């Protein structure tokens, strides 16, 4: 895919917060952080208003999403992501990412995602919508 890729140094403060959300998740999955999901992500979100919506047309509140993250963490051994584009319009940040998970059994899954982060007036994340398109595993980077 051709296009103008976003340089990490050119992202807005809200986009940086959305990227940090994914970086903190990756650090837990990759064993690079001793934090739990609450310690890592609660500083970035409003847990009372938080909703995660996905391809499955599901909507999860923070406790349900945290439980799903725990299951994901048990299945994956390594998670990598590459940022292609970051855009901000109003209270919404869009991240275009390539994502790759290497599972404990050695299998690899890869996908292209658009993650849409909604922020409130206090700059807390109150919603994350994830649109995933799966493709063959390719090197990240």
Domains of the chain (ranges, CATH numbers): 11-135 (3.10.450.50)
* pLDDT per position as a tens digit, 31-78: 899 999 999 999 999 999 999 998 777 899 999 999 988 887 776 678
Residue 135: CB atoms within 10 Å? 10
Q: What is the pLDDT of residue 135?
A: 65
* pLDDT per position as a tens digit, 75-132: 667 889 989 899 999 999 999 999 998 888 888 888 999 999 999 999 999 999 999 8
Handedness of CA 119, 85, 16, 100 (dihedral sign): positive
pLDDT band at 139 (very low <50, low <70, confident <90, very high): low
Q: Considering the entire predicted model, what is its pTM?
A: 0.87
Helix, strand, or coil (residue 3): coil
- In 3D space, the residue among 41, 32, 103, 49 whose CA is nearest the CA of residue 66 turns out to be 41
Q: What is the pLDDT of residue 8?
A: 73
Query: From CA 59, how far away is CA 17, in angstroms rounded?
Result: 22
136 pLDDT higher than 90: no
């Amino acid at each position: 895919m051709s296009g103008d890729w976003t340089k990490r140094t050119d992202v807005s403060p809200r986009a940086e917060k959305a990227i940090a959300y994914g970086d903190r998740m990756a650090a837990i999955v990759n064993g690079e952080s001793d934090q739990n999901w609450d310690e890592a992500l609660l500083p970035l979100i409003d847990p009372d208003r938080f909703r995660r919506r996905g391809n499955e047309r599901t909507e999860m509140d923070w406790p349900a999403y945290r439980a799903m993250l725990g299951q994901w963490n048990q299945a994956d051994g390594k998670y990598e992501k590459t940022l292609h584009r970051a855009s901000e319009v109003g209270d919404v940040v869009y991240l275009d990412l390539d994502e790759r998970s290497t599972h404990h059994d050695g299998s690899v899954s890869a996908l292209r995602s658009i993650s849409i982060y909604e922020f409130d007036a206090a700059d807390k994340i109150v919603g994350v919508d994830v649109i995933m398109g799966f493709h063959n595993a390719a090197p990240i980077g």
